[in-house]
Amino acid sequence: MNSKPSVESLTQRELEILSYSAQGITTKGVADLLGISYQTTRTHHKNIYKKLGVNSLIEAVAAYKRLEP
């Protein structure tokens, strides 16, 4: 089994949130755009970190830019 981090492991919503974050939109801005709470956005970020094997939004965005299909 391949455990290498991959954006393919992310849900559509996680990809959407990460894409907005990669564009420089703040967590609050993403929440407002998507009509979800700040805390829900943070929960998505935490799930993204776990799936990509990173510890911060900066690392997640860097991984996204490296790994996007």
pLDDT tens digit sequence for 5-59: 677 889 999 999 999 999 999 999 999 999 999 999 999 999 999 999 999 999 9
Selection from 63, 40, 65 nearest residue 50 by Cα: 63
- Quick check: is 1 in a domain? no
Residue 61 is assigned to a structural domain of this protein: yes
Question: What is each CA distance from 32 to 2, 15, 26, 55, 67, in whole angstroms?
Answer: 36, 16, 10, 24, 27
Between 65 and 36, the more confident residue is 36
The domain of 58 spans: 10-67
pTM as predicted = 0.86
- Structural domains in the chain (count): 1
Q: What is the CATH number of the domain that holds 55?
A: 1.10.10.10
